């Protein structure tokens, strides 16, 4: 089990499980192995300024020069890290977590979250008490830099601005009081779109809705889409890497359906290419990829796993089922503003309503469950599950995934962040998926109690 890093960065409750001391030493440890020039950015949480000072201090203490990019979306920091040729980046954010949380995401020189092996190295240094400190005359380097404009220009360069302008698309945008307001509405305007916003003011207490956009908390956006007759709605999470869409009728689109639609569009123009996604994603991704002669590259769960697989295997399109769209020609990381521009491009090309384009995709019913299991038993339970569970096709990429003859599947994996096993299942009908997931929920629960 990881001690600091979870599925995506280090997270905790402010002044309880994540403190100034932790962020300072963590940033120093990261800085000591990433290199000399490090980008630093933060979201708009109340505690983010506090941890910005902590990270800046930690980085400088090991002789790094801090390139402070201020308040901005995570993908903008990632873009800036790569395009300013820096050695790495640190983003102070707890992404979609509640306001009392904060966290640290660490990027490599390519702007992508560092691989697990580097996380382990940073943890090793951290738990040894921190890295060696720089001498007195090597500290104190900090410069403020502006990357938001450069980032917006980058996003715009990947779509046909003229074509989108001529299509007269209307977009309703819900940035959920998060930092997406700094990029998405302006990019949409520069695409010639008519833009309507809701929950726009930056507010680290997230007063309007949870910073994680979900079908159950997007009522405001759904109403706005209908009232403004928008072609689609876009909802972003707290640091604007994840994007959920609402169709022109006001229905929230599940993340893997919008991902599949965008993947399908990408593959129409790049037939035969591979698409990277995690094993928890819907078979719909596989359907559209194979339709165009391509192949899915399955990865462990977690956005950094997908991004790293894209880099390593030269894959240009990827994503995850919770609203993470990764467009490699721009950058192989989740990017909500880029996803919005791609959706506008797709609609401008197809000249059809989003709901109609989505209805042409295959449909699967999905279900998720969780089974409590103390962290110390997870390994043994998983070993037992892998030994005893049988299916026509079994995959052990992350946890254990069982594929059945009728196309249904169930995935059981230990959570990287909570003392639970997560279950994901998919089948052609709701009733089938519910009985499948219930069956395996009780199998896993039995296994957990037998191991304890
Ligand atoms: Mg996020």
* Dist. CA 154 → ligand 1 center (Å): 20
Q: How far lies 222's CA from each of 198, 237, 238, in Å?
A: 10, 16, 19
Is the model's pLDDT at 2 over the cut of 70?
no
CA 424 to mean position of chain CA atoms: 18
Q: Determine which one of 27, 48, 95, 211 is catalytic.
A: 95
How large is the average pLDDT for residues 327-344? 98
How large is the average pLDDT for residues 108-126? 95
The three-class DSSP label of residue 179 is helix
What number of H helices and E strands is found in the chain? 15, 21
* Dist. CA 392 → ligand 1 center (Å): 36
* Dist. CA 214 → ligand 1 center (Å): 13
* Dist. CA 85 → ligand 1 center (Å): 23
What protein residues have CB closer than 5 angstroms to ion ligand 1?
95, 237, 239, 241-242
The four Cα atoms 10, 13, 19, 23 give a dihedral, to 10 degrees, of 20
* Dist. CA 404 → ligand 1 center (Å): 33
* Dist. CA 239 → ligand 1 center (Å): 5
How large is the average pLDDT for residues 141-155? 98
Burial 317-329 (b: 16+ CB within 10 A, else e): bbbbbbbbbbbbe
Is the model's pLDDT at 118 over the cut of 50?
yes
* Dist. CA 335 → ligand 1 center (Å): 9
Average pLDDT, the chain: 96
pLDDT of residue 417: 75
Respond yes or no: is residue 95 known to be catalytic. yes
Higher-pLDDT residue of 9 and 279 is 279
Phi and psi based region of residue 401 (left: phi greater than 0; alpha: psi -120 to 50; beta: remaining): beta
What is the CB-side half-sphere exposure of residue 333 using CA atoms within 13 A?
27
| pLDDT tens column, 36-48 | 999 999 999 999 9
* Dist. CA 12 → ligand 1 center (Å): 15
For residue 83, the tally of other CB atoms under 10 A from its CB is: 14
pLDDT of residue 121: 96
- Closest C-alpha to 322, from 420, 237, 410, 426: 237
How large is the average pLDDT for residues 394-418? 94
Is the model's pLDDT at 1 over the cut of 70?
no
Is the model's pLDDT at 445 over the cut of 80?
yes
Residue 37 near residue 67, CB atoms below 8 Å: yes
* Dist. CA 336 → ligand 1 center (Å): 9
Residue 64: what are its φ and ψ, rounded to 5°?
-75, 150
| pLDDT tens column, 215-246 | 999 999 999 999 999 999 999 999 999 999 99
Band (pLDDT 50/70/90 cuts) for residue 404 is very high
Is the model's pLDDT at 198 over the cut of 70?
yes
How large is the average pLDDT for residues 44-72? 98
């Amino acid at each position: 089990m990881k001690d600091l890093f979870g599925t995506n960065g280090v997270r905790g409750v402010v002044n309880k499980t994540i403190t100034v001391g932790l962020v300072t030493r963590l940033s120093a440890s990261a800085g000591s192995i990433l290199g000399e020039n490090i980008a630093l950015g933060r979201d708009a949480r109340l505690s983010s300024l506090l941890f910005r000072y902590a990270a800046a201090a930690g980085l400088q203490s090991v002789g790094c020069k801090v390139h402070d990019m201020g308040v901005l979306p995570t993908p903008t920091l990632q873009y800036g890290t790569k395009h300013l040729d820096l050695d790495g980046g640190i983003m102070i954010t707890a992404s979609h977590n509640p306001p009392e949380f904060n966290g640290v995401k660490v990027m490599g020189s390519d702007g992508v979250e560092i691989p697990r092996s580097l996380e382990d190295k940073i943890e090793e240094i951290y738990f040894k008490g921190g890295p060696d400190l720089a001498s007195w005359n090597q500290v104190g380097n900090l410069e403020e830099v502006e990357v938001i404009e450069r980032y917006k220009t980058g996003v715009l360069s990947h779509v046909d601005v003229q074509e989108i302008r001529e299509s007269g698309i209307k977009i309703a945008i819900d940035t959920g009081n998060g930092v997406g307001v700094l990029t998405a509405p302006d990019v949409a305007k520069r695409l010639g779109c008519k833009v309507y916003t809701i929950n726009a003011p930056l507010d680290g207490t997230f007063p309007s809705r949870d910073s994680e956009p979900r079908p159950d908390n997007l009522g405001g956006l759904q109403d706005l889409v209908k009232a403004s007759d928008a072609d689609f709605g876009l909802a972003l999470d707290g640091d604007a890497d994840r994007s959920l869409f609402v169709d022109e009728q006001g229905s929230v689109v599940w993340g893997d359906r919008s991902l599949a639609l965008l993947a399908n569009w990408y593959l129409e123009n790049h037939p035969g290419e591979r698409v990277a996604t995690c094993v928890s994603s819907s078979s719909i991704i596989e359907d559209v990829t194979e339709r165009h002669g391509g192949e899915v590259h399955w990865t462990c769960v977690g956005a950094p796993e997908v991004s790293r697989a894209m880099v390593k295997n030269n894959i240009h399109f990827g994503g995850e089922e919770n609203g993470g769209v990764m467009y490699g020609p721009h950058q192989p990381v989740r990017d909500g503003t880029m996803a919005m521009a791609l959706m506008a491009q797709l609609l401008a090309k197809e000249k059809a309503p989003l709901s109609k384009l989505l209805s042409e995709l295959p449909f699967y019913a999905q279900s998720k469950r969780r089974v409590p299991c103390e962290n110390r038993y997870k390994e043994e339970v998983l070993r037992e599950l892998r030994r005893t569970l049988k299916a026509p096709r079994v995959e052990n990429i992350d946890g254990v995934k069982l594929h059945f003859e009728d196309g249904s599947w169930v995935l059981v994996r230990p959570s990287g962040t909570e003392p639970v096993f997560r279950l994901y299942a998919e089948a052609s009908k709701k009733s089938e998926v519910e009985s499948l997931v219930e069956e395996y929920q009780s199998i896993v629960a039995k296994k957990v109690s037998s191991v304890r």
